[in-house]
Amino acid sequence: MKKYLGLLLLLWTSALAFAQEEDFDFDAYLAKFKSTEEDQYYHRGEEKEWKYVPYKPVKKSKVRRYKNEFFEFKKIKDYTTYDEEKRFHTPYQDSLWEVKQERMKRFLDTAADPRHSTFDPFYIEPQFIGKIDRENILMHESHGDTEAFVYEEGELGIGLSVWVAYSKDKGKNWSYYCTGINQKSPLFVKWYSKFPLFNSNGDLQIEACLMRKMSADWICAKYEVVQDGLLLTIDIATLQRDSDSDGLTDILEKKYYYTNPNNPDTDGDGVSDNLDLNPRWAVPRTDKTIVYEALINSDERLGWCDWDEDSCALIPLDEVTAVHYPSDSTITYRMVSDDPNLVSIQPINDRYIFLSSEEYELLEKDYGDVWFFDNYSPMFKTDYLENTYVLSSGGLMGSAYYYAKWTEKGWKIGGIYSISE
Ligand SMILES: [Ca+2]
Ligand SMILES: [Ca+2]
Ligand SMILES: [Ca+2]
């Protein structure tokens, strides 16, 4: 009996949902949230943004003059030529080949059986050596008591960056260092080389070349080699240097967090750079800070509540989010914003690096690097709803529109609609 009841209920609710969908006037629903302020803002933005500028590769002479501020490279005569084909076949990637073959075989054997229809033959579990995914390893070598892995780390928004895992005690303890090199912009670090990874000084030497990006695409961009036959030396002392002893290397501060490598607490809020989830800005909180905080921190009180029923939970105006600290798995996001309501947030899950639009313009993006980031719009006053604002967030994964209603007791925040890419 229960089973039938369940089925009936299901039919009834889906019929109801269908009817609602039929009647639902999305345009009228959206019209409630109309904001002239928002229209004006995007109108201004659009004129600037949509002016078509054809992609122009960087001049070869400029690429040839490239200097890395941390590491030296020199021309060598006897070198291993750059090979686009070798790009995806490091020995570590090859070592996963058998696993892939095995999965494909299992897929073909069970394909006729509907119970296995969700089996994906192309997915393989990442296989880690310590903290490093095997597929990302470029090189590995031991040299006496020291041992090193050179590997790539895919960071959302800035391509593949080159990292070094380094051990001084035969692999018992590992440190992970960022080289600040982003593959192909313009330096490219090869995994195939005639040279041993450790040189006679115990520093790392890697064959490299200079490349330039020939098209504006992000995923399938075309590159060309401007200068091949370079030997890059990564000296361990530079890799490890932490001038202000805040636990973040100079390279990490300069290239990824945009914090001050000579000041352990860039924004002077008493939380040192390595522990600060919003390390660049310590600006006073505003009434609107809470709205951004609730969205960015995925506050559990938020929901896609029904606007007409006004059923959203209330987030008190005087609420102050406690200071939270990063963990090993903390993800770092970069955003460009000049909005004090946004840059004053206290994140709880992720690290947020906010750059002002002026700072972003000054960043070195000359070698075809493109920054992708999620971002939040300002809050725009709506025309018809009292004390109500609309705002949106957008990025690689999609975008979402929200409203926030100010009351004397607090904010009521809800979603209007979302689009996923
Ligand atoms: Ca530091
Ligand atoms: Ca610092
Ligand atoms: Ca700080």
Residue 201, pLDDT above cutoff 80: yes
Residue 81, pLDDT above cutoff 90: yes
User: Which of 204, 221, 130 lies closest to 162, judged by CA?
Assistant: 204
pLDDT the model gives residue 10? 34
Pairing of strands 375-376, 388-395: antiparallel
Could you give the angle at the alpha carbon of 364 between the alpha carbons of 363 and 370, nearest 5°?
Answer: 90
pLDDT digits (tens, 9 = 90+) for 223-241: 999 999 999 999 999 999 9
C-alpha 273 to ligand 1 mean position (Å): 8
Task: Calculate mean pLDDT across residues 183-212.
Answer: 94
Rounded CA separation 328/150 (Å): 20
pLDDT the model gives residue 357? 86
pLDDT the model gives residue 318? 84
C-alpha 345 to ligand 3 mean position (Å): 13
- Please tell me the number of the ligand nearest to residue 240's CA: 1
- Please tell me the number of the ligand nearest to residue 244's CA: 1
C-alpha 271 to ligand 2 mean position (Å): 11
Rounded CA separation 360/354 (Å): 10
Q: Does residue 273 or residue 125 have the better pLDDT?
A: 273
Pairing of strands 398-406, 410-420: antiparallel
C-alpha 82 to ligand 3 mean position (Å): 43
C-alpha 274 to ligand 3 mean position (Å): 8
pLDDT the model gives residue 13? 36
- Name the pLDDT band for 285 (thresholds 50, 70, 90): very high
pLDDT the model gives residue 12? 33
- Name the pLDDT band for 371 (thresholds 50, 70, 90): low
pLDDT the model gives residue 209? 97
Pairing of strands 332-336, 398-406: unpaired
Pairing of strands 351-355, 332-336: parallel
Q: Does residue 15 or residue 137 have the better pLDDT?
A: 137
pLDDT the model gives residue 42? 82
Q: Does residue 110 or residue 180 have the better pLDDT?
A: 180
C-alpha 231 to ligand 1 mean position (Å): 28
Residue 133, pLDDT above cutoff 90: no
C-alpha 335 to ligand 1 mean position (Å): 21
- Please tell me the number of the ligand nearest to residue 278's CA: 3
Q: Which range, 5-14, 86-95, 275-284, is most confident?
A: 275-284
Task: Calculate mean pLDDT across residues 7-18.
Answer: 36
pLDDT the model gives residue 317? 86
pLDDT the model gives residue 4? 34
pLDDT the model gives residue 134? 87
Q: Which of 10-14, 41-45, 269-273 has the lowest mean pLDDT?
A: 10-14
Rounded CA separation 403/303 (Å): 12
Question: What residues have a C-beta under 5 A from ligand 2, the ion?
Answer: 244, 246, 259, 273
C-alpha 343 to ligand 3 mean position (Å): 13
Residues 6+ apart with CB under 8 A from 130: 165, 174
User: Which of 290, 316, 301, 300 lies closest to 389, judged by CA?
Assistant: 290
C-alpha 264 to ligand 2 mean position (Å): 4
Output the DSSP codes for 334-368.
EEE---HHHHT---SSSEEEEE-HHHHHHS--TTS
Quick one: what percent of the chain has pLDDT higher than 70? 83
Rounded CA separation 187/177 (Å): 18
Q: What's the mean pLDDT when you consider all of the chain?
A: 84
Residue 147, pLDDT above cutoff 50: yes
C-alpha 255 to ligand 2 mean position (Å): 12
Residue 320, pLDDT above cutoff 50: yes
C-alpha 278 to ligand 2 mean position (Å): 13
Strand, coil or helix: 406: strand
CA distances from 262 to 30, 239, 251, 255, 343 (A): 50, 16, 12, 14, 22
Question: What residues have a C-beta under 5 A from ligand 3, the ion?
Answer: 265, 267, 269, 271, 276
Residue type, 267: D
Task: Calculate mean pLDDT across residues 326-331.
Answer: 87
* Residue 178 near residue 251 (C-beta atoms within 8 A): yes
User: Which of 401, 332, 341, 314 lies closest to 158, judged by CA?
Assistant: 332
pLDDT digits (tens, 9 = 90+) for 387-406: 999 999 987 677 889 999 99
- Name the pLDDT band for 306 (thresholds 50, 70, 90): low
pLDDT digits (tens, 9 = 90+) for 251-284: 999 988 999 999 999 999 999 999 999 999 999 9
Task: Calculate mean pLDDT across residues 377-392.
Answer: 95
- Name the pLDDT band for 8 (thresholds 50, 70, 90): very low
pLDDT the model gives residue 18? 41
pLDDT the model gives residue 242? 98
Domain ranges of the chain: 61-240, 277-420
Residue type, 383: D
C-alpha 268 to ligand 3 mean position (Å): 5
CA dihedral 86, 91, 95, 96 (to 10 degrees): -40
- Please tell me the number of the ligand nearest to residue 259's CA: 2
pTM comes to 0.83
- Name the pLDDT band for 5 (thresholds 50, 70, 90): very low
Q: Which of 65-79, 115-129, 183-197 has the lowest mean pLDDT?
A: 115-129
